[in-house]
Amino acid sequence: MIKRAFGSQQAGLLMVIVLLGVLLAITAGNHVDQRTGQVVNNFYNLHTLLQTATDASFFAIMAVGATVVIISGGIDLSVGSTYALAGVATAMVLRSAAPDGGLAIVGLAIVVSLGVGLVCGVLNGLMVVGLGVHPFIITLGTMWIVRGIAFVASRAESILVPSGLTAVAKASLGLSESVYPVPLLVMLAVTAIGSVYLTRTVMGRHVFAIGGNPEASRFSGLNLSRITIGVFVISGLTAGLAALLGAAFYGSASCGDATGYELYVIASAVVGGASLSGGKGSAVSAMLGALLIVLIRQSIRTMRFDQNYEWIIIGCATILAVVLDQASGRAALRRLSASATRR
């Protein structure tokens, strides 16, 4: 069992994350805390570590939903645009309704943001199933359509959200006033729910089944259309939740939010071991993949490299992850073939 744990995808990712974290701690330098007078590492301190997790949380949440789609054999390029529309719609509704603080404003924000994500997910699923077009093309189109709707609806303005909602997202929960753990806790909760869904439920096993062999799944009596719509709904809901969290945390929403997040989300899933051919992936690995990408970005800033190298490195990491996944798959097939021959 121990050998299997150390040989798992999560163990490998954790090792890389820890090594990268150690490298950052060594190269980041130190500073003197003005309040305590103690020497503090510029990276290895509670504030920076939580800020790193916060930076990862918004697209890590979406990466969990996108991983479900990828496991089913599809892909969702519209998550960033869904994020933007959900955030803009939430901010506009809250501005118009102007509710008092407390549970009323939080409840309304949740309904609007998740509702927009749900609608976008349903539409993506229905078009993939009804039109019989590859999800790449459908979601490439909806990526532009949805962001265009956000642009027209907001008139390209940045819309503020009520301070009561920001206070919830930036609650310190008893920690230091400058430490905000809520995004991290939401990310962990979404990852846990996604992991349970994929590994402990019948619906999750169906997602793996249609991604691994859709024809065999169809002959087994699975409703492929319903499952396909369902995975896009999950992706839309996670995008809506991330948008709610992002708008609340930063205090505003605009049509330009989450531009380019499609790269981060898909890269997080792929670096986390999700196979673009379907049938393989993990919610926990997707979250770890998001953390790794954020640490790569942090490393580039800490070592004072040109920030444009960020895209090059993340692109190379994505290609390398896919190549290693395919090589691992071919090696597994050779082992199975050799085992069958010996029998």
Contact 194, 64 (CB under 8 A): yes
What whole-number distance in Å separates Cα of residue 68 and Cα of residue 287? 13
DSSP assignments along 68-106, one per residue:
HHHHTT---S-HHHHHHHHHHHHHHHHHHH---TTHHHH
Q: What is the pLDDT of residue 12?
A: 74
How high is the pLDDT of residue 6?
Answer: 46
**Domain locations along the chain:** 2-324
SS3 assignment, position 41 = strand
Check residue 149 and report its DSSP letter.
H
Using CA atoms of 202, 204, 205, 208 in order, give the dihedral in degrees to the nearest 10: 160
- Measure the CA–CA gap between 115 and 243, rounded to whole angstroms: 12
CB 119 within 8 A of CB 237: no
Query: Would you state the pLDDT for residue 85?
Result: 97
pLDDT for the residue 260: 85
Number of H helices, E strands in the chain: 14, 4
Residues 6+ apart with CB under 8 A from 210: 72, 73, 217, 222, 224, 227, 228, 278
Helix (H, G, I), strand (E, B) or coil at 253: strand
pLDDT tens for the chain, residues 1 to 343: 444 444 455 777 788 888 888 888 888 777 777 777 777 777 787 777 888 888 899 989 999 999 999 999 999 999 999 999 999 999 999 988 866 566 788 889 999 999 999 999 999 999 999 999 999 999 999 999 999 999 999 988 999 998 888 988 998 887 766 778 899 999 999 999 999 999 999 999 999 999 989 888 888 889 999 999 999 999 999 999 999 999 999 999 999 998 888 888 998 898 888 888 888 899 999 999 899 888 888 777 777 677 777 778 777 877 777 777 667 666 666 776 666 666 6
Write down the pLDDT at residue 184: 92
Q: CATH number of the domain at 2-324, out of 1.10.3470, 3.50.50, 3.40.50, 1.10.357?
A: 1.10.3470
